[in-house]
Amino acid sequence: MRRYFIVLVFVFSFVAPISAQFSTQEIVDKVIENAGGEKYDKAIIHFVFRGKQYRSKRGEGVYALERFVKSPKGLTHDVISNSGLKRTIENCPVKIADSLVTKISDGVNSVHYFASLPYGLNAPAVHKELIGESVINGVLYYKVKVTFDQEGGGTDFEDEFMYWIHKENFTVDYLAYKYAVNGGGIRFREAYNPRNVNGIRFVDYKNYKTDDLTTPLHNLDKLFEKKQLKLLSKIELEDIYVYIERDCC
């Protein structure tokens, strides 16, 4: 305990005390701006995740989130847009059973959501709250809790998120979430391999879990430092391509 106290004194002595300068909204705005800002609304983003191709386009309230999957039936193309979910197989429209619409939509949306973070944290259905600060591996972070309205928050609006935002760099270095579907679960992600592609920041994640579903999300950073979380998988984006549409003159 004494050694831990000494480390804390050292860290706080050499980091500028900026926590009182920014509101929750200002912190999130800085994170989004640092990751790409307005470029998100002009970008067409392509990437590969676990052998499947994804493409997204957003701007002025209009969006299209796509997934391409090769199968024995041919190339399946799923598109989530303002008008809902559409599927084609080899460019032929396919009717989707009602029982599959939510599953397919959630699967496509989830991949795009994490790939494009922190974009989306300023969506109208998102509620953000600065709940404190934290030290992980000697680095200072803001801890921001995120919840969602039922209207506009998607089928998983009851999920809860926590973001650890670097106090100097304004990057999301860690995040956690609690979900209810399929019996529920808790995940903690550690960002790594940051890179900038045509002005937009992307990261990969080490994906951890805890089996104790009563664990508050804000305590996961301590469990991570104590190596009490189990590594499940790695979330890696490949072949990223970003095209930024230019304004007409």
Give the domain range for residue 65: 22-244
Residue 227 in domain: yes
pLDDT of 175 = 98
| The residue to which tokens 């929750």 are assigned | 24
Report how many domains make up the chain. Answer: 1
What is the percentage of the chain residues whose pLDDT exceeds 70? 88
Output the pLDDT for position 234: 97
pLDDT > 60? residue 99:
yes
Q: What confidence category does residue 180 fall into, taking pLDDT thresholds of 50, 70 and 90?
A: confident
What does the pLDDT average to over 67-90?
95
Would you say residue 217 lies in a domain?
yes
What is the predicted pLDDT for the residue at 249? 52
Tens digits of per-residue pLDDT, 115-129? 999 998 998 889 999
Whether residue 138 lies inside any domain: the answer is: yes
Which of these ranges, 64-78, 100-114, 144-158, 169-183, has the smallest mean pLDDT?
Answer: 144-158
pLDDT for res 10 = 33
Q: Average pLDDT in the 201-207 region? A: 98
Confidence band, pLDDT 50/70/90 cuts, at residue 6: very low
Res 65 pLDDT > 90: yes
pLDDT in tens, 229-249: 999 999 999 999 999 987 655
| pLDDT above 90 (res 15) | no
Residue 14 counted as domain residue: no
Residue 12 inside a domain? The answer is: no
Amino acid identity for residue 138 in this structure: G
DSSP character string of the chain: -HHHHHHHHHHHHTS---GGG--HHHHHHHHHHHHTGGGGGGEEEEEEETTEEEEEEEETTEEEEEEEEEETTEEEEEEEETTEEEEEETTEEEPPPHHHHHHHHHHHHHHHHHHHTTTTTTSTTEEEEEEEEEEETTEEEEEEEEEE-STTS-TTTT-EEEEEEETTT--EEEEEEEE-GGG-EEEEEEEEEEEEETTEEEEEEEEEE-S-TT--GGGHHHHHHTT-SEEEEEE--EEEEEEEPPPP-
Q: Is the pLDDT of residue 12 over 50?
A: no
Say if 10 falls within a structural domain: no
Q: Does residue 150 have a pLDDT over 70? A: no
More confident residue, 208 or 7: 208
Query: What local confidence, expressed as pLDDT, does residue 181 receive?
Result: 79
Which pLDDT value is given to residue 246?
A: 77
CATH classification at residue 63: 2.50.20
Other CB atoms within 10 Å distance of the CB of residue 114: 18
The Cα diameter of the chain in Å comes to 67
Confirm whether 9 is domain-assigned. no
The verdict on residue 29 lying in a domain is yes
